[in-house]
Amino acid sequence: MGAKWISQLWGRLREIRKSHARELEEINTIIFGDPLEIAEYYIEPDCQERNPTDQDVEPHLIVSVPVMKKIDQFFQAEKIFHHGNNQMFILSDAGMGKTALLTMLRLLHLMSFWPKEKDCVLKKLRKETLREVSEIENKSQTILLLDSLDEDPTAFGKVRERLLEILHATQHFCRVIITCRTQFFPDTEEDSLERLGMVSIGGFNCPVKYLSSDGTTHPVGLKKANVRGVV
């Protein structure tokens, strides 16, 4: 997806509130907000491979890129060589736009910005989520978006155990993105291949990206769009 994807998406979304009312209401009940309002105000955040709060990393060693560029690369990777490579974590502090990002991904699918043969399912992590996930039939052709591990009541007091349960339950999906507050995310092992932007937990080697701001985007990833879609 190029730099103009936000304005292109918004141009289509303005005309589908009635024709896609059911899908938009479904997203609304998951994120507790109007997805079209998020799309109208959205600014794409940058992401990076290192935790921006890590004091041991020299600032000049941190490289930030638009998050959709990294997600696009994740989706288009042809082969998965390691257990967990199809399951990505998006981490950040509270209010940095994790839920907004997953909402935009779901809207991109709804507006056919992705290949037709791929399905996309957005879920808020809660007690019933893994049961609902198990009932999805075509897992190998489904991109699964799981929001807010840090708000999952089942993870309170046992976040590592819950995360491993989620990873095992979702390992056969085409791609999985899981969001979480950085401070809530459990300790992980060193990646066996020492790859930057990878974490290992319980035998799963997963890519991880940290949302960041380069000073030009609003902290929550939202800003008023003008009539041309320029943000």
**Where does the pLDDT of residue 60 fall: very low under 50, low under 70, confident under 90, or very high at 90 and above?**
low
- Name the region of 189 (left: φ>0; alpha: ψ -120 to 50; beta: rest): beta
Instruction: Give the end-to-end CA distance of the chain in Å, rounded to a whole number.
Output: 17
Structure confidence at residue 213 (pLDDT):
64
Residue 8 included in any domain = no
Contact 196, 48 (CB under 8 A): no
Residue 122 included in any domain = yes
**pLDDT above 70 for 58:** no
Residue 10 included in any domain = no
Mean pLDDT (the chain, rounded)? 83
What pLDDT digit, counting tens, does each position of 80-122 carry? 657 899 999 999 998 899 999 999 999 999 888 777 788 999 9
> Dihedrals φ, ψ of 74, to 5°?
-65, -45
Contact 57, 46 (CB under 8 A): no
Contact 45, 213 (CB under 8 A): yes
Contact 159, 149 (CB under 8 A): yes
Residue 149 included in any domain = yes
- Say which amino acid occupies 27: I
Length of the chain: 231
What percent of the chain has pLDDT above 90? 50
Residue by residue, DSSP assigns the chain as --TTHHHHHHHHHTT-TTTTHHHHHHHHHHHTS-HHHHHHHB-PPEEESS-TT-TTS-GGG---EEHHHHHHHHHH-----STTTTEEEEEE-TTSSHHHHHHHHHHHHHTT-S-TT-EEEEEE-STTHHHHHHT-S-GGGEEEEEE-GGG-GGGTT-HHHHHHHHHHHHTTSSEEEEEEEGGGSPP-BPPTT--TTEEEETTEEEEEEEEE--SSS-TTSB----TT---
Structure confidence at residue 155 (pLDDT):
95
CATH number at residue 151: 3.40.50
Q: Provide the domain limits for residue 169.
A: 45-212
For residue 6, give both structure tokens: 């936000």
Mean pLDDT lowest for which of 86-95, 107-116, 129-138, 145-154? 107-116
Residue 160 included in any domain = yes
Residue 125 included in any domain = yes
Give the integer Cα–Cα distance in Å for 194 and 149: 25
Total domain count, the chain: 1
Residue 59 included in any domain = yes
Structure confidence at residue 216 (pLDDT):
36
Residue 12 included in any domain = no
In the block, tokens 């303005």 appear at: 14
Rg (CA), the chain: 17
